[in-house]
A and B are shown apart, each in its own frame.
Chain A
């Protein structure tokens, strides 16, 4: 459980975070989305007690982060995968934190296996790591204390598609076992498949929050495609539906519910090959609309 109430922070005379409130429930993954410079990192740092808010407050598992007796055992934090001593070996970096938290050294090897860092890689100094390897090391670090909450800043950054898929499954599994996940990203694609809820931030303010369906409820458009594109277009206009051809594949985006579109196709005797809410495109448009005013 993560809860923030009215967090605000001014840095260098600029209001970086303004009145940010959010709530992440156990068993869910929350995607914290916004362009670079929107205030995501500053918000996450305030959640972790690394930055003092000018106004507002935040709790993790019901208490302010800094009051958790041994935070590493309850909250896994990855704020910057590049923030590791380059002269330390990967395994040693984990071992140092394991010692701090009082976790058995055996857990270090267990997690190296879990994130797919091989023994030979773990023996190398972090200097030699690619960004993707650092992210894996960072994820291992976050999971080291067997926490109930994960706070991850841009964890997919630098991962290849296979790595992104791996992390998605890892986070889904973590949440399904009752954990709470908050992860930030500036790329909608990275989080939309795994996040149960999305919180969108732009210019330091929350501009939208909710499940995908809630966010899209007032967008409500449908994608439809048929064997005969021209006949489909005619059927849609005959039914009085505003339709727009989308792309070269003969698909239309229609401002109506799928059911209305399906009936129009039935009336026109058109064979449909695709019919569904245009979620992804709609969400991307929404994200862009909400955040495009930002100067980042």
Chain B
């Protein structure tokens, strides 16, 4: 057998593979179908029964991205946890021993999926608004703040999903933690002496203005940053440390 030389698979290819892995299983398929159907349903309801104010592009888009922001991070979670719970890790890391590259590829895949779904939501919203034919004079207005804010909202949620998956490694606990921890955290934040501090840490509160398309002040951006440190960067750090130091067992 003659000597051959091989090159390392590029990050583009690894990200494309991870994107494929996110959607080629039965669970991934059903999640996409669920997101698609719920989005159609949400837009349909607004278009059908909303008043003129509800049927503006801005308002339709606001509704259209809700199912995606809620459910798409689960794909991000499963993208990592399936390596462990579905025992893919032996194959994945035997093919790509630089484990950190796989984490980067998974984040890129999650972001890529988020961007595609986001664009589809915008297109669907445009169609919805056109069909709705609202008489509101601002019906075609779309602020850059809303576009940017909702996009950031969706993409950070995707990354957060990957981070929770990496830190917890087991699908059901990671999904429960992803949905329940913020609620518990918000409840604790209702305790009077903690309320102000939690304004910097409670992701639901800090992200709210972004999701609503408001223009953020420097302080509000700082709040977004600190809360993301807690909910996105910290679990990601824990996950990467576990991965790089630990044994790959599946």
Contact = CB atoms under 8 A, between A and B. Distances in A.
Interface string B20-37: 110011111000000000
B81 to A, nearest CB: 11
A192 interface: no
User: Is the contact region of chain B dominated by helix, strand, or loop, or is it mixed?
Assistant: loop
Contacts of A69: 5-8
Nearest to B82: A85
A99 B88 contact: no
Contact of A45 (B7, B13, B248): B248
A88 B17 CA distance: 14
Contact of B87 (A74, A84, A177, A178): A84
A99 B21 CA distance: 11
Contacts of B89: 83
A224 B13 CA distance: 63
Given A100-B14, A100-B17, A70 B9 contact: yes
B13 A80 contact: no
A136 interface: no
B17 A99 contact: yes
Interface in B31-88: 82, 86-88
B116 interface: no
B184 interface: no
B247 A50 contact: yes
B90 A83 contact: yes
Contacts of A141: 91
A106 interface: no
Contact of B24 (A11, A48, A88): A88
B96 A50 contact: no
A15 interface: no
Nearest to A148: B1
A87 B248 contact: no
A86 B86 contact: yes
B88 A50 contact: no
Contacts of B82: 85
A111 to B, nearest CB: 15
Interface footprint category on A: 35 or more
Contacts of A100: 9, 13-14, 17, 95-96
A51 B247 CA distance: 5
B194 interface: no
A71 interface: yes
B25 A85 contact: yes
A125 B6 contact: no
A82 B1 CA distance: 31
A50 B90 contact: yes
A96 interface: yes
A246 to B, nearest CB: 44
B233 interface: no
Contacts of B27: 87
A88 B25 contact: yes
Given A83-B250, A84-B87, A97 B24 contact: no
A77 B7 CA distance: 19
Interface of B: 1, 4-9, 13-14, 16-17, 20-21, 24-28, 82, 86-91, 93-98, 247-250
25 contacts: A45-B249, A49-B97, A50-B249, A51-B248, A68-B6, A70-B7, A70-B9, A72-B94, A73-B4, A82-B87, A83-B89, A84-B88, A84-B91, A85-B88, A87-B25, A87-B86, A88-B25, A89-B24, A96-B20, A97-B91, A99-B20, A100-B9, A100-B13, A148-B1, A178-B1
User: Closest 5 A-B residue pairs measured CB to CB?
Assistant: A66-B97, A83-B87, A87-B25, A87-B26, A70-B6
